[in-house]
Amino acid sequence: VIAETIYALSSGQPPAAIAILRISGPAAAYALESLTGALPPPRHASLRSVRHPSTGELLDRAILLLFPGPDSSTGEDLGELHLHGGRSVVNAVLDALGTFEGLRNAEPGEFTRRAFENGRLDLAEAEGLADLLAAETQSQRRAALALAGGALSRRVEDWQGVLLQLAATVESLLDFADEGDVAEELPASWTASLNALVTELERSLRSPPAERLRDGVRVVIAGPPNAGKSSLLNWLAGRRAAITSAIAGTTRDLIEAPTAIAGTPFLLIDTAGLREGADQLEEEGMALARESLGAADLVLWLGNPGDRPDPVRSILVASKADLYSSEERRPADIHVSAETGQGMDALIALLVERARALLPSDGEVAINKRHRDALSECVSDLRLARSSPDLLVVAEHLRLARAALDRITGRAGVEDMLDRLFGSFCIGK
Ligand SMILES: Nc1nc2c(ncn2[C@@H]2O[C@H](COP(=O)(O)OP(=O)(O)OP(=O)(O)O)[C@@H](O)[C@H]2O)c(=O)[nH]1
Ligand SMILES: [Mg+2]
């Protein structure tokens, strides 16, 4: 099949200082030559007049860049026009491109999909790219860059190397068996190497999930009514996300405020105050509050130490510190005031410290659900391989374990996954 040539605006919506159009496919060079008269040498930025191919009208003066395939980001001939970023400039050049036969508008993520199909990046790296485009905090950016740069792919490759060795040993024993020799036992070194691999995969499975980095560490603010929960939420979020009032029972719904603090993503959740003898609406709010406590990564508990829901995950906060002298203070991990801001720096430092332990650390590869599913399947096949006395069965489980790892980098059985992933990109990426 001869691939169609695709084009799209790859930069943000005009008007802007510069608009970048990308064209990829076999007719890219021809179309760009027709628009600009002469092609520059590969990977050299050159100033060109862009003219309508049939009327010859000057549309813009632009920088033209050519990246001949296969050494381009899509693996195909790829061209970039850096236009002036006005709406009519962009529309005029897009219209001109539309007059060429074999050229069409790109679908969302189609440039990246072609890069994947031409082996320029694997599936885990493409996921990293998607994460990078969505990254809002510095820790998200760092993890996305590592994934996009192949950090996970390289580990998968190492694991595949070990698996191949293990499989080769089994195959050679099976060959002996074919020749009528008595089947040998697998050597102790084989078992040791398999065990080491299982241990390493299990460690990766236990590492903090990438989803927590994407969605933010869930911090639930809870305690009795009027404790100052909503005031604390507003202070931490830096905006008035929740209504506060001196009336006990103000908050009923869960109020979620995604907030980056010191480059770390948090999802702050304010809840209804917990107390006995509330009306029905408030009871519903309290049910939501209890539910969210169950799903919390961390709890800021503004109530009595004795009622603390979860000592491990909770931070005991004494609120309204401005109302008490230091002798009158309740015992707590931290004393804060949303009125004066006292104690907030210490609370933030503590939150960030606790969150870091719950998030993939900087050098570590963040594993998402898709990766985890594949890894768990790989581990269970390795366990079955380890426990089977029949070499044929062992070989089969090793093959399945390899196939599971292949799904991480997209070498096998991932068609539906591809549509989902690339469909989530913007047009022009
Ligand atoms: N002096 C002082 N008053 C505070 C402080 N924080 C909150 N308040 C006041 O305490 C009252 C209750 O604050 P909220 O933030 O609405 O308390 P809440 O825990 O969300 O209350 P409910 O939603 O009803 O459960 C309001 O009148 C606030 O102005 C503080 O640090 N110092
Ligand atoms: Mg409230």
Listed residue (66, 39, 33, 36) closest to 51, CA to CA: 36
Where does 135-150 have alpha helices with state H?
A: 138-148
The pLDDT value given to residue 148: 94
Q: How many CB atoms lie within 10 A of CB 178?
A: 9
pTM listed for this prediction: 0.82
The pLDDT value given to residue 414: 55
Please give the distance, rounded to the nearest whole angstrom, from the Cα atom of residue 348 to the centre of ligand 2: 20
Query: C-alpha angle 87/91/94, rounded to 5°?
Result: 140
- pLDDT tens, the chain, 429 aa long: 568 999 999 999 999 999 999 999 999 999 999 999 999 999 999 999 999 999 999 999 999 999 999 999 999 999 999 999 999 999 999 999 999 999 999 999 999 999 999 999 999 999 999 999 999 988 899 999 999 999 999 999 999 999 999 998 898 888 776 665 555 688 999 999 999 999 999 999 998 999 999 999 999 999 999 999 999 999 999 999 999 999 999 999 999 999 999 989 999 999 999 998 888 999 999 999 999 999 999 999 999 999 998 888 999 999 999 999 888 888 999 999 999 999 999 999 999 999 999 998 876 788 999 999 999 999 999 999 999 989 999 999 999 999 999 999 987 655 655 676 677 777 787
C-beta of 333 in contact with ligand 1 (< 6 A): no
C-beta of 33 in contact with ligand 1 (< 6 A): no
Yes or no: say if 62 and 81 are a contact pair by the CB < 8 Å rule. yes
Q: Taking the CA of residue 108 as centre, how many other CA atoms within 13 Å lie in the half-sphere pointing to its CB?
A: 10
C-beta of 248 in contact with ligand 1 (< 6 A): yes
Strand order in the sheet with 78-84: 46-51, 58-67, 78-84, 18-24, 5-9, 103-105
The pLDDT value given to residue 178: 63
Rounded to whole angstroms, the Cα distance separating 398 from 378 reads 9
**Which ligand places an atom closest to the C-alpha of 244?**
1
Q: Which residues surround ligand 2, an ion (CB under 5 A)?
A: 229-230, 250-251
**Atom of ligand 1 at shortest range from CA of 226:** 21
Yes or no: say if 274 and 223 are a contact pair by the CB < 8 Å rule. yes
Ligand 1 atom 27 nearest Cα? 246
Rounded to whole angstroms, the Cα distance separating 268 from 259 reads 7
**Which ligand places an atom closest to the C-alpha of 282?**
1
Whether residue 40 is preceded by a cis peptide bond, meaning omega within 30 degrees of 0, is no
H or E stretch including 222? strand 217-222
The pLDDT value given to residue 98: 95
Rounded to whole angstroms, the Cα distance separating 151 from 366 reads 9
C-beta of 337 in contact with ligand 1 (< 6 A): yes
C-beta of 342 in contact with ligand 1 (< 6 A): no
C-beta of 75 in contact with ligand 1 (< 6 A): no
The pLDDT value given to residue 418: 63
